[in-house]
Chains A and B, each alone.
Chain A
Amino acid sequence: MAVKVFRWKAIAPLLVLLIGLGVLVAIFAEPIARSTTEEAGTELLGTEVDVGKLDLLPRQTSVELGALQVADPFDPRRNLVEAERILVKLNPEALAEKKVVIDNFVLHGMRFGTTRKTAARPATGGGFAAQTLRSVRQWAGRFDVPLLRLTPLDTIKQLVLDPSQLGTVKAAQALASSTDSTRMALQQGFKSLDVESTVDSARALATRLSATDPKTLGLDGTRKAIASVKATLDRLDQTRKRVATVESQVKEGTRLLRTGVEGLDEARRKDYGLARSLLKLPTFSAPEIGNAFFGKVSIDRFQQALYWAELARKYMPPGLLPREHPGPRRLRMAGTNVQFPKEQNWPAFLLQVGQIDFTVDPSAGALGGAYKATVQGLTSAPALYGKPMVVRASRSAAGSAVAGIDVAALVDHVGQTARDSVAARLRGVRLPAFDIPGLPFRLDPGTGSADLTFALRGDQLRGRWGIGSDQVAWALDSARGGGNSLEQIVWRVVSGLKTLDVTAEVSGTVKAPRLAVASNLDRAIAARLEAVVGEEVAKAEALARAKVDSLVDDKVAPVKQRIAAVQAQATERVAGQRVQLDKVEAELQAQLERLTAGLAPGIKLPKIKL
């Protein structure tokens, strides 16, 4: 009997099952897609992404999102962007390859910086964005932004310094110990030379030969005497070479000790700084004032720019090598998904052109009006797309000189070296108020202008942030009673200023950034403070230096003396041993000449040069 291969009667139940699956997909696809979009968006951007509504429009191969909110990763109570409706038209061919290529992107009701009803969940976990957020916050901590010290001088009673606090004392102790080690090592070196015994034996030979008449030695005796002179001269030469080795050790040891002495001077300078900080002397250096006033707020801006640049580098990597991403979350092990980009093909994600039109309500003042933004070439594989991503946003209304926004960003990951830059220029915008760190002042710049340029080329960064306003308002924290006398002086200076012009520049590398801040306040405050407390501060600084010197001198001076003694003794000993060797060598050479003259009188043999 032939065995049946197919079970035809099972086709109908299988079709019913497939239809059932299709119905389930139709019912649950949108909620699942919505929650997946929120989850993936949150994971990608490192901040809470909420989608109020998601409609799949399969016939148009489109997705419509409603009530989208993207929280500000640096301020959980604020939305970075909010959009009422987003219509995304997907490319069906690319979709067949499981790739998201957005042919068209329409966005309505876009708003920036809105207040959230509930604070966003902080980015946690080991996702890349969360890690980047943490590392960018650590990066911000690398800047040394001192607080402005405005302690009145009348509180300086005395300076109490514990010698164990001072780096100079520790350095002196360490140097004393290394001086002893060097001295012992050199002594050991001299001892192993054993120059004295070599010189003594050579001298004894020279003395013995001088008492001998070459004519009585005979030919064999003379030859033996010459051989023993030559052997002794050889030993002298070896000893001389060992002395040269010890001499180089002496030089190296003394060089290290001199470096240690320089370290003592550096440690003392740091101790002066420590003593000065214990006195809490007021700062009136203009750069320090600029850093103290606007350093933190400037770093906040650069930190945000760096965060987005780092995300762009992760999600838009250069090159066409296979890329690995974590697999989907499931009960089983997630594994790793490997993407295999191919030239002349769709990247896994591409937004070819996105146009965003948004309107700022005229009630917002001079900033009200219509704006236009375009995004080109936002892709997961820039090398495939072949062009950098470009973002532009500007006011589209005519005659917008009074107020406006101009933003241009270029993310160029087409080549091997990533180049990211952004330039933003805002005019007539309401600038956010902020507290001055360490002082009871609050600055409200009012309506003014703000500029930001930021460029990251490889690891090199360069950025400039500036704000300007002529409507500045200052507020004093009344809870602190108006501050002390110096704070009141600063308050009188700043409260009279209605204009503000701040420029902050960041440079260097991502690992070693440098910040320089300058403002029109710095010089005004510095000049006023110097006039009032400059003399007193100079006296206090002299007091601090004298106090450090008094604690340090008796520790440093003996070490320096010991180092000088070691250096002098070692040098003198090397020179003395050289002289001894030269002298005994000359005596032996004289005896050699005498002996060789006896062998062949009248014939002058060449001097044996060793």
Chain B
Amino acid sequence: MLAILKLIQSIIKTLHSDGTPGQVAAGIALGSALGLTPLVNAHNLVIFALIVLLNVSFGGGMLGWALFVPLGFIFDPAFDAIGRSLLQAPALRGLWTAWYNTPLMPYTSFNNTVVLGSVVAWLVLAVPIFFAARYGVARYRATVGERVRRSRFYQAVTASKAYNVYRLFRPD
């Protein structure tokens, strides 16, 4: 419950004041990888580390994750098809064979159709997601953001002590 509360706090704060729209959008773009691709994979450990270590909005990362999880499930068949076509492409067989026989590479599960397809799809979509999110956050802040900030719900959420933990990951 505490975790969910923290997540809601982080998302709401993210949309209002924590970081520039660019930082929030970068967080969302990185977080979308966690949602679009199967979570328990080595690449997501790297993505999570980037969200934490880079000066992007952590809340944005969590928001991106939450937003893109359902899309990941919906588009799994498409990812499977993309991954299959890439893994079966004769021109790429040499690359896959080399990677498959390289230490540690197989642990990335790149040879799984859904993992490869979803990672490639995310790489292609990351930049459009970034720009769309940056525009969306800026528009939000300029329009309904101030009204939400004055609402009782917002006041209650930000008053929680758990929010303080999140502050550690606020963008500078």
Contact = CB atoms under 8 A, between A and B. Distances in A.
Nearest to B99: A340
A9 to B, nearest CB: 7
B103 A96 contact: yes
B111 A338 contact: yes
A332 B114 contact: yes
Interface residues of B, number: 41
Interface string A334-346: 1111111110011
Interface stretch (A10-18, A33-41, A170-178, A462-470): A10-18
A338 B87 contact: yes
A338 B106 contact: no
21 contacts: A4-B55, A5-B54, A10-B52, A14-B49, A97-B101, A97-B104, A322-B93, A328-B112, A330-B38, A333-B77, A334-B114, A336-B84, A337-B111, A338-B87, A338-B88, A338-B113, A339-B100, A339-B111, A342-B100, A345-B101, A346-B101
Contacts of B98: 342
Interface string B76-111: 110110011001100001001111111111110101
A328 to B, nearest CB: 8
Contacts of B72: 332
What DSSP secondary structure best describes chain B's contact surface? helix
Contacts of A327: 112-114
A3 interface: yes
Contact of B53 (A3, A14, A99): A14
Contact of B55 (A7, A11, A346): A7
Contacts of A333: 76-77, 79-80, 114
Interface string B109-139: 1011111010000000000000000000000
B113 A335 contact: yes
Q: Which of B55, B88, B98, B104 has the most CB of A within 10 A?
A: B55
Interface in B20-76: 38, 40, 49, 52-55, 72-73, 76
A336 B103 contact: no
A74 to B, nearest CB: 34
A10 B169 contact: yes
B168 interface: yes
A14 B40 contact: no
A98 interface: yes
Contacts of B104: 96-97
B105 to A, nearest CB: 8
A411 B112 CA distance: 29
Interface in A83-112: 93, 96-99
Contact of B106 (A97, A322, A335): A97
A335 B93 contact: no
A127 B150 CA distance: 58
Nearest to A93: B103
A545 B49 CA distance: 88
Given A6-B55, A332-B38, 13 more contacts: A7-B172, A13-B52, A98-B106, A322-B87, A322-B93, A330-B40, A335-B79, A335-B83, A337-B109, A338-B113, A339-B111, A340-B100, A345-B101
Contacts of B77: 333
A336 B93 contact: no
B111 A340 contact: yes
Give 3 closest A-B pairs by Cβ, nearest first: A335-B114, A98-B106, A333-B76
B102 A97 contact: yes
Contacts of A93: 103
Contacts of B115: 335
Contacts of A342: 97-98, 100-101
A11 B98 CA distance: 33
Contacts, number: 99
A97 B110 CA distance: 13
A319 B101 CA distance: 17
A338 B55 contact: no
B74 to A, nearest CB: 11
- Residue of B79, B106, B111, B172 ringed by the most chain A CB atoms within 10 A: B111
Interface in B144-172: 168-169, 171-172
Nearest to B87: A338
Contact of B112 (A9, A10, A337): A337
Contacts of B102: 97
Nearest to A96: B103
Contacts of A96: 103-104
Nearest to B73: A332
Contacts of B114: 327, 332-335
B78 to A, nearest CB: 10
A96 B100 CA distance: 11
Contacts of A10: 52-53, 168-169
B26 to A, nearest CB: 11
A237 to B, nearest CB: 63
Nearest to A8: B53
Nearest to B113: A335
Interface in A180-229: none
Contacts of B111: 337-340
A514 B72 CA distance: 54
B113 A14 contact: no
Contacts of A335: 76, 79-80, 83, 112-115, 117
Given A335-B80, A338-B96, A4 B172 contact: yes
A96 B96 CA distance: 16
A442 to B, nearest CB: 54
A97 B98 CA distance: 11
A333 B114 CA distance: 7
B29 to A, nearest CB: 16
Contacts of A334: 114
Given A97-B101, A327-B114, A332-B114, A340 B93 contact: yes
A342 B96 CA distance: 10
A491 B39 CA distance: 70
- The interface centre, meaning the residue of B83, B96, B107, B114 with most chain A CB atoms within 10 A of its CB, is B114
